[in-house]
Amino acid sequence: MHPSSTGGGASVTVGALLPLSGDLASYGETSQVALDEAVAALQADGNRVSLSVKDTATDPAKALEGLTNLKEQGVKLVIGPYASSEVRKVKEFADDNGIILMSPLSTATSLAVPDDNVLRFTPDDEQEGISVANLAYADGIRTIVPITRDDEGNKGLQSVMKRAFEGLGGTVAPLITYPAGTEDFTDTVRDLVAGVSAASAEGGPVGIYLTAFGEVTKLFDAAAGSPQLESMAWYGSDSVALSKGLLEDPTAASFATKAGYLWSGCSRSASPSLDFF
């Protein structure tokens, strides 16, 4: 918060580091609406509150640039950033400058540091990864083919899931990784098909665990039309839940439905649709 003395009393500016573009844009857009409504409600009650928003573009370097700008404005309380990679990038700057960060989405266990300036509201990798492992094993899956975006939070989820799933007696195939910013998933899908084929040859039900951001739409577009991938049980992560891009892309949405794609905050039903809770 940034209080300042004015003729009308104290005013407060709250900062926000939102992914208004990039692979987490769905979260940034909804958060912008919620924050605007909150500020409007406070102002209607006579509070002198304003909001300063910076677009991180789901990019760690831009998140730090945005936080630096907010610091220059005197802001001391910031909503965001969202991705664990962004939080990692800005954490030291926030700690050194007495800025409180409130991240609604970061899950990396490595960022759970006592007495720092980062507050997070999403259960970390431990809870989510264990839950996915338990669910897949209960579904009868005995081999998981893992695929992930190359960033700290998503790879953390994969690490926890692997440990938990193997602890239950299951097998986890070698991790398939693609870089953040990938646009063409042709090679990634080829690697995934090869991984699924190898796992299936070993016998036993096979599932796919995908930890991703909004690029899941492009990945599913590339995977569409593959009977082998459509026949697999797919499990996903919290960062894809309510993805606007996925819901609005007919090809990707159709693939997700055929594959029974399930992610944190989503449930399977008997109808061919994506259900949320």
Both structure tokens of 235? 């499990």
Q: Please, what are the domains in the chain? A: 4-120 (3.40.50.2300), 125-276 (3.40.50.2300)
From 19-23, 116-120, 163-167, the region with the lowest mean pLDDT: 19-23
Q: Tens digits of per-residue pLDDT, 45-69?
A: 999 999 999 999 999 999 999 999 9
pTM of the predicted model as reported, rounded to 2 decimal places: 0.74
Both structure tokens of 32? 């912008």
Report d(CA 277, CA 260) in Å as an integer: 16
Of the two residues 163 and 274, the one the predictor is more confident about is 163
Helix (H, G, I), strand (E, B), or coil: what is residue 4? strand
φ/ψ bin of 111: left (φ > 0), alpha (ψ from -120 to 50), beta (otherwise): alpha
Contact 232, 196 (CB under 8 A): yes
Q: Dihedral of CA 134/138/143/147: which sign?
A: negative
Report d(CA 189, CA 185) in Å as an integer: 6
Q: Dihedral of CA 229/239/26/60: which sign?
A: negative
Report d(CA 112, CA 77) in Å as an integer: 19
Q: Which of 104, 138, 137, 142 is nearest to 121 (CA)?
A: 104
Report d(CA 67, CA 96) in Å as an integer: 12
Report d(CA 86, CA 65) in Å as an integer: 11
Report d(CA 202, CA 89) in Å as an integer: 41
Q: Tens digits of per-residue pLDDT, 71-129?
A: 999 999 999 999 889 999 999 999 999 999 999 888 888 888 999 999 998 777 788 88
Q: Which of 62, 28, 23 is nearest to 182 (CA)?
A: 23
Q: Tens digits of per-residue pLDDT, 177-214?
A: 999 889 999 999 999 999 999 999 988 899 999 999 88
For the cut 60, the answer to whether the pLDDT of residue 9 exceeds it is no
Report d(CA 183, CA 114) in Å as an integer: 37
Q: How confident is the model at residue 4 (pLDDT cuts 50, 70, 90)?
A: very low
